[in-house]
Amino acid sequence: MYNFSVPDICDEFSDIQIGDLFLNSYGSKNKFFGQIHTAKCEHSNSIVKELVNEHGEGKVLLIEHAGSELCSMVGDQIAQKAYENKWNGILTNGCIRDVEIIQNIDMGVYAQNTYPKKTDKSVGIGKKDVPIKLGSVEINPGDWIYIDSNGWIISKKKLEL
């Protein structure tokens, strides 16, 4: 278990950004941190699939759903593959599905909500490791995220806690 609290981080550090996008925890872990990799997707999560197939130890995948069509960016297969490749967690401003399975996968998954429709499966659509925006927070690949049931923060560097 991680030994930090997001409120304590907010009290101790001034050079952080506090997330103003309110998210729900769907994975079995609601507290995690890691170095950020990003995906910016409209209606296809093919870039997300590519990223979770990479080794993810110590990393967190942040997904900006930039499209207007309602669809889920993460399902049980993506979450399972991320777990197998040792990702610390996934966070999206979009929706996820298969929550009854994801809640039993031993990793963190945060999203705005659930929605049962899958994405368009067009390959190569989207961008990876580009700056994204979640709520009003500008996030760059390589930044660090700390998240628990109180909220989330972004830091430009790993925090000494």
Query: Alpha helix locations (H) across 54-121?
Result: 76-84, 99-102
Angle of CA points 82, 34, 71, to nearest 5°: 45
Q: Is 148 annotated as a binding residue?
A: no
Residues 6+ apart with CB under 8 A from 107: 27, 28, 29, 32, 79, 82, 83, 87, 88, 89, 90
Nearest residue to 59 via CA among 154, 161, 143: 143
Q: Is 143 annotated as a binding residue?
A: no
Q: Is 75 annotated as a binding residue?
A: yes
Q: Is 98 annotated as a binding residue?
A: yes
Residues making up the binding site for substrate: 75-78, 97
Residues making up the binding site: 75-78, 97-98
Residues making up the binding site for Mg(2+): 98
